[in-house]
């Protein structure tokens, strides 16, 4: 064990997880050391200096760009693997993919050089397809959680996506795939699972209008009422009608650019070869069982990478710039307010029992009887890992076993009817499944806070929210906020994201 100023270094097992976490956020050595000393090391007992920290980091196999000594030829095998999965990724995205997927630290200049040598035509194509800037107002971390569904794969593949995002810092709270995203109990469960894991929720939830979001609107409102009785009689959910739900739309656009193309090519194989039709019951159930858990793991990896990657620096943005995970964990380090509402388990359990009971059929990947049979069949074929290379072969083997079983014994009609309900339930909109709590006063709408008529749609500007904001500002000292609109607007910030554009940046890390 090393020593620092006559104090021993902290045990490696105590600090290694934090080093790995901050490494994934691509922080430099001084920043990681500062965070360790500030949050994770008892400085009355232990000491740790920069030189010793670098030795510890390298002992964990974490090497900086220069120490890895890569060139365009050494990164080529990894890039060929990544290209199959992410065919449209640009230079900045490839740098991130190499780091998170291949454990390789490479400068953007090297990736750009690689593109010019090996992918000149793709460079021209990417330059034609840049995102247009969009704008959004928010007051601080956990002011708003915006949710949205994504239906591009719903009718072709029977796959439905859903996300929940904090627009102020671009932090993705969840990114889920299931066989439906139109059931209000399922949508609410995503929110409840995240609140339960984090221990807090936002001031306001936000979504497009639609019955699929009634459970979320009710559930979040009841949780807010539980912790603040003065809010009773008010709806703590924002419906984005004529104003678009901007941040999730940007997130879906980025997903379609970064994640979707490679995986859609894989899914198309089964459809184009006539192996899979989402309207055929047996094929749909086998497909769900094989593909959804695998795709969820891939989406989890994508979400982790996005949350550990700083958005492109933009001099036109008022928002803090940094790694979303770090800004969520240490908002004070970025000089921003955190409006999170600590949530008691009792409130979560109450709402879950009322609107999203775990035994509801929507939470079943496949019907229980079907699951028991296919699990046994999977064991019979050796339980191979589902990957992009093996997924369709596993699907075809299991589907073949079911067809043999059906030919030999004829699947009973009552079981077939039960399984069929799982397919019809995915097509239903559940318009009457959950009704909105009646007689609630909506949040104030159309409060223009920023320049040029931009809209603020969070929770701070809802009476109690302003009181809370003043109290937080007083506690933080200074700033002092006056009651006029101009002064208030300074604490709000607009979000823009055009990170797929081709601006240069410092990336020697």
Q: Phi then psi for 334, rounded to 5 degrees?
A: -105, 5
Same domain, yes or no: 18 and 157: no
In 199-333, the DSSP E strands lie at: 200-201, 204-207, 237-239
Same domain, yes or no: 283 and 180: yes
Same domain, yes or no: 235 and 195: yes
Q: How far is CA 126 from CA 84, 91, 257, 309, 505, in A?
A: 16, 10, 10, 20, 18
Q: Phi then psi for 273, rounded to 5 degrees?
A: -90, 0
Tell me which of 127, 152, 176 is where a domain ends: 127
Sequential pLDDT tens for the chain (509 residues): 455 557 899 999 999 999 988 888 888 888 899 999 888 998 889 989 888 988 899 899 888 888 888 888 888 888 788 887 777 777 877 888 888 888 888 888 888 877 777 777 766 555 554 444 445 556 789 999 999 999 989 989 999 999 999 988 989 999 999 999 999 999 999 999 999 999 999 999 999 888 899 999 999 999 999 999 999 999 999 988 655 666 777 788 888 877 888 899 999 999 999 999 999 999 999 999 999 999 999 999 999 999 998 876 555 555 667 899 999 999 988 888 899 999 999 999 999 999 999 999 999 999 999 999 999 999 999 999 999 999 999 999 999 999 888 776 666 665 666 677 666 666 665 545 789 999 999 886 544 444 444 555 677 655 344 444 455 545 544 333 333 333 333 334 444 444 433 333 333 33
* Structural domains in the chain (count): 3
Same domain, yes or no: 104 and 155: no
Same domain, yes or no: 92 and 53: no
State the Cα–Cα distance between residues 302 and 458, nearest whole angstrom. Answer: 27
In a domain, 503, yes or no: no
Q: How far is C-alpha 469 from the chain's CA centre?
A: 27
Same domain, yes or no: 161 and 263: yes
State the Cα–Cα distance between residues 372 and 366, nearest whole angstrom. Answer: 10
Work out whether strand 200-201 and strand 341-342 pair parallel, antiparallel, or are unpaired: antiparallel
Same domain, yes or no: 301 and 348: yes
Place of tokens 């409102």: 221
Per-residue model confidence (pLDDT) at position 451? 47
Task: Show the domain range for 346.
Answer: 142-361+438-474
pTM (predicted TM-score): 0.72
With 0-12 / 13-18 / 19 or more C-beta atoms within 10 angstroms meaning exposed / middle / buried, residue 19 is buried
The CATH number of the domain where 327 resides is what? Answer: 3.30.420.10
With 0-12 / 13-18 / 19 or more C-beta atoms within 10 angstroms meaning exposed / middle / buried, residue 333 is middle
Place of tokens 């419906």: 239
Which residue, 71, 126, 143, 131, is CA-closest to 251?
A: 131
Length of the chain: 509
Q: How far is CA 99 from CA 23, 62, 78, 467, in A?
A: 10, 11, 11, 44
Per-residue model confidence (pLDDT) at position 190? 98
Work out whether strand 237-239 and strand 341-342 pair parallel, antiparallel, or are unpaired: unpaired
**DSSP secondary-structure letter at 141?**
B
Place of tokens 């695998």: 294
Backbone torsion region of residue 155, taken as left when φ is above 0, otherwise alpha when ψ lies between -120 and 50, otherwise beta = alpha
Per-residue model confidence (pLDDT) at position 462? 54
Per-residue model confidence (pLDDT) at position 2? 54
State the Cα–Cα distance between residues 142 and 167, nearest whole angstrom. Answer: 9
State the Cα–Cα distance between residues 330 and 141, nearest whole angstrom. Answer: 10
Which structure tokens are listed for 275?
């192996």
Which structure tokens are listed for 70?
């890569």
Work out whether strand 493-495 and strand 136-138 pair parallel, antiparallel, or are unpaired: antiparallel
In a domain, 407, yes or no: no
Same domain, yes or no: 54 and 81: no
In a domain, 11, yes or no: yes
| CB 217, CB 191: distance < 8 Å | no
In a domain, 163, yes or no: yes
Place of tokens 């104003």: 243
In a domain, 509, yes or no: no
Same domain, yes or no: 147 and 290: yes
In a domain, 421, yes or no: no
- Report the alpha-carbon angle 429-434-440, nearest 5: 125
State the Cα–Cα distance between residues 456 and 137, nearest whole angstrom. Answer: 5
Q: How far is C-alpha 266 from the chain's CA centre?
A: 22
Same domain, yes or no: 264 and 350: yes
Same domain, yes or no: 216 and 203: yes
State the Cα–Cα distance between residues 133 and 315, nearest whole angstrom. Answer: 13
SS3 labels along 312-358: CCCCCCCCCCCCHHHHHHCHHHHCCCECCEECCHHHHHHHHHHHCCC
State the Cα–Cα distance between residues 450 and 461, nearest whole angstrom. Answer: 13
In a domain, 367, yes or no: no
In a domain, 43, yes or no: yes
Largest CA distance in the chain: 79
- Residue-wise pLDDT tens digits, 171-204: 999 999 999 999 999 999 999 999 999 999 999 9
Same domain, yes or no: 27 and 166: no
Per-residue model confidence (pLDDT) at position 415? 65
Helix H or strand E encompassing 372: helix 368-380
Per-residue model confidence (pLDDT) at position 488? 34
């Amino acid at each position: 064990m090393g020593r620092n100023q006559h104090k021993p270094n902290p045990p490696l097992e105590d600090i290694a997880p934090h080093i790995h976490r901050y490494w994934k956020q691509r922080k430099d050595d001084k920043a990681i050391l500062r965070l360790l000393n500030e949050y994770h090391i008892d400085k009355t007992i232990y000491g740790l200096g920069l030189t010793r920290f670098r030795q510890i980091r390298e002992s964990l196999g974490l090497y900086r760009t220069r120490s890895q000594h890569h060139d365009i030829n050494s990164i080529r095998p990894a890039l060929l693997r990544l290209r199959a999965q992410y065919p449209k990724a640009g230079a900045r995205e490839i740098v991130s993919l190499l780091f998170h997927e291949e454990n390789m630290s490479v400068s953007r200049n090297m990736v750009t050089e690689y593109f010019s040598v090996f992918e000149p035509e793709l460079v021209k194509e990417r330059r034609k397809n840049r995102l247009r800037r969009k704008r959004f107002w928010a007051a601080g971390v956990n002011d708003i959680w915006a949710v949205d569904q994504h239906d591009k794969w719903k009718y072709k593949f029977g796959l439905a996506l859903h996300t929940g995002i904090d627009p102020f810092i671009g932090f993705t709270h969840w990114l889920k795939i299931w066989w439906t995203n139109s059931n209000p109990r399922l949508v609410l469960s995503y929110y409840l699972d995240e609140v339960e894991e984090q221990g807090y929720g936002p001031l306001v939830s936000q979504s497009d209008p639609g019955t699929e979001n009634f459970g979320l609107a009710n559930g979040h409102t009841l949780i807010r009422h539980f912790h603040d009785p003065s809010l009773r009689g008010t709806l703590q959910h924002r419906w984005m009608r004529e104003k678009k739900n901007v941040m999730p739309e940007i997130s879906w656009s980025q997903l379609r650019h970064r994640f979707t193309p490679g995986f859609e090519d894989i899914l198309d194989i089964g459809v184009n070869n006539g192996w899979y039709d989402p309207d055929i019951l047996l094929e749909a159930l086998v497909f769900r069982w094989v593909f959804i858990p695998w795709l969820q793991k891939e989406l989890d990896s994508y979400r982790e990478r996005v949350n550990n990657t700083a958005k492109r620096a933009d001099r036109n943005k008022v928002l803090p710039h940094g790694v979303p995970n770090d800004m969520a964990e240490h908002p004070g380090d970025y000089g921003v307010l955190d409006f999170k509402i600590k949530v008691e388990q009792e409130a979560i359990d109450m709402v879950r029992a009322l609107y999203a009971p775990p035994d509801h059929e929507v939470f079943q990947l496949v019907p229980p009887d079907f699951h028991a049979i296919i699990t046994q069949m999977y064991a019979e074929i050796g339980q191979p890992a589902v990957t992009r290379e093996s997924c369709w072969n596993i699907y075809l083997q299991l589907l073949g076993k079911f067809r043999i079983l059906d030919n030999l014994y004829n699947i009973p009609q009552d079981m077939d009817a039960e399984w069929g309900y799982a397919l019809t339930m995915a097509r239903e909109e559940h318009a009457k499944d959950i009704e909105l709590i009646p007689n609630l006063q909506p949040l104030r709408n159309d409060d223009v806070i920023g320049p040029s008529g931009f809209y603020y749609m969070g929770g701070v500007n809802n009476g109690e929210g302003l009181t809370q904001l003043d109290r937080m500002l007083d506690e933080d000292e200074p700033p002092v906020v006056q009651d006029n609109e101009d002064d208030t607007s300074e604490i709000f910030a607009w979000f823009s994201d055009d990170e797929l554009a081709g601006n240069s940046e410092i990336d020697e890390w």
